[in-house]
Amino acid sequence: MELRHIRYFLAVAEERHFTRAAQRLGIGQPPLSHQIKDLEREVGTPLFHRIPQGAELTEAGRAFEAGVRQIPGLVGEAVVAAQRAAAGETGRIRVGFTGSAAFNPRVPQAIRIYRRRFPDVELSLAEHNSIGLVEGLKNGSLDAAFLRPDAVDKQGLRLFHLADEPLIAALASARMPHGEPIRLEQLAEDAFILTPRALGPTLFDATLEACRRAGFEAILGQSAPQVASVLALVAAELGVALVPESMRDASFRGVTYHDLTGNAPKVALALATRNDEQAATVAAFVAEARFPSEAEPG
């Protein structure tokens, strides 16, 4: 049995007339009669009473109709669902981000607007360090990741550059007035709080390189796994830290931020995907992150 038989059967059942049903189907009456007969042979029983005025359903025909009536609609819905999924309007996307990337306003904004434009896409978020993000992309547990790209393994990944952020100094509040710029050399005697290089090499390398360019070798203090804990250690006066500028929006009790004078070191913010990524959901997400749409409603 094929969908054709079902469509033809339903047409005859509705028209109660072979000739009219054939016209509606755009075929001749003889092939329609033939197909219905094939169907009846396969089901094993007549589905129509042929009467002089046309045809009417047998009891078996009524039972069959009740069973197959919805099928053409189901097929159509399945096609539409597939097309919507292909257009990235349904499905899912798993997005990762590093602790520091989450504070750049472009990251939450991209997520917010994407969810608004594609409300039927199931979006899940996960915070990891850079190494974990790259691993997640490669093993398929993540589809896209906001990260600091400079020092990660780019093999098999596609990186979309989103922003360059100057680093700023995070000091314990007692050190100097809030907001006042600072020269990096002033921190030559301070311990630097850093995340372990194995977890997130970019900020680690950028900090040491900046100090080197300022004429001194940074003193390494405590290490902390995430940006938030770095700031906690700074607040506890265990040392100082260089953080991306966007961290300024996240005020942290006991920590003051200070621009670095001179040409401040910069770290990049990028969005990474697998370079063989094909999902339309991911493509749409990348597009939104790279080229934010005009404005958010409301």
Tokens encoding 41: 């042979």
Residue 6 is a binding residue for a copy of itself (CB under 8 A): yes
Stretch that binds DNA, among 35-43, 62-70, 91-99, 114-122 (CB under 7 A): 35-43
Query: For a copy of itself, which residue of 14, 41, 50, 59 counts as binding (CB under 8 A)?
Result: 59
Tokens encoding 46: 């007549």
Which of residues 6 and 171 has its CB atom nearest to a copy of itself in the complex?
A: 6
Residue 286 is a binding residue for a copy of itself (CB under 8 A): no
CA separation (Å) from 268 to 36, 150, 235, 243?
68, 7, 26, 12
Stretch that binds DNA, among 18-26, 134-142, 165-173, 277-285 (CB under 7 A): 18-26
Query: For a copy of itself, which residue of 33, 90, 129, 202 counts as binding (CB under 8 A)?
Result: 90
Residue 18 is a binding residue for DNA (CB under 7 A): yes
Residue (of 112, 142, 117) closest to 130 by Cα position: 142
Residue (of 215, 147, 220) closest to 183 by Cα position: 215
Binding site partner of 28, from DNA, a copy of itself, none, Cβ cut-off 5-8 A by kind: DNA
Residue (of 243, 249, 246, 220) closest to 231 by Cα position: 243
Residue 34 is a binding residue for DNA (CB under 7 A): yes
Rounded to a whole number of angstroms, the minimum distance from the CB of residue 65 to DNA is: 16
Residue (of 152, 104, 95, 17) closest to 277 by Cα position: 95
Residue (of 211, 224, 214) closest to 252 by Cα position: 224
Query: For DNA, which residue of 6, 9, 11, 35 counts as binding (CB under 7 A)?
Result: 35
Residue 67 is a binding residue for a copy of itself (CB under 8 A): yes
Query: For a copy of itself, which residue of 20, 24, 84, 106 counts as binding (CB under 8 A)?
Result: 84
Three-state SS for 120-149 is CEEEEEEECCHHHHHHHHHHCCCCEEEECC
Query: For DNA, which residue of 3, 4, 81, 249 counts as binding (CB under 7 A)?
Result: 4
Query: For DNA, which residue of 3, 14, 37, 178 counts as binding (CB under 7 A)?
Result: 37
Q: Can you list the pairs that 204-207 forms with residues at least 24 positions away whose Cβ atoms lie under 8 Å?
A: 204/151, 205/150, 205/151, 206/150, 206/167, 206/242, 206/265, 206/266, 206/267, 207/167, 207/241, 207/242, 207/265
User: Given the rule CB under 8 A, which residues bind a copy of itself?
Assistant: 1-4, 6, 42-47, 49, 58-64, 66-68, 70-71, 74-75, 77-79, 81-86, 90-91, 278-281
